[in-house]
Structure 1
Amino acid sequence: MKTKIKEFRAKHNMTQLELAKAVGVRRETISFLEKGEYNPSLKLATKIARLFQVSIEELFFFEDSELD
């Protein structure tokens, strides 16, 4: 799974720590999400998307090769 969290954080001038605190996770979780090393729960994905006022699909997506 790919994510645009880092891009949205930059647009909102947020650090990983600030985002983590805002959605109730550890900073390392945000780092793993940004690197594609962790897939979020639906609840976490929703919290992050709502914070940035975008859809989950705008924030998280699969490339075609990942769906095979």
Structure 2
Amino acid sequence: MYKVVRARLRALVCGVWAARRDSGMVTSEYAMGIVAAVAFAVVLYKVVTSGQVSAELQAIVKRALDARM
């Protein structure tokens, strides 16, 4: 019985330690996430500052400001 309890306890402790070692992101994953976020921000900036989109956004803001209640 002692051996069974000891084996189960070891499995439990080793399992917890393995989960702790694998938790969270490593530096390379953070770097890839930042690169992806910056790339998305650049694409979004280019789209929003393009001529047609910019004109549409200005028209929407102008209509909102000129609206009467």
Q: TM-score range by the shorter chain?
A: under 0.3
Q: What TM-score comes out, normalization by structure 2 length?
A: 0.19
> Which structure shows the higher strand fraction?
1
Larger radius of gyration between Structure 1 and Structure 2: 2
Q: What TM-score comes out, normalization by structure 1 length?
A: 0.19
> Which structure shows the higher helix fraction?
2
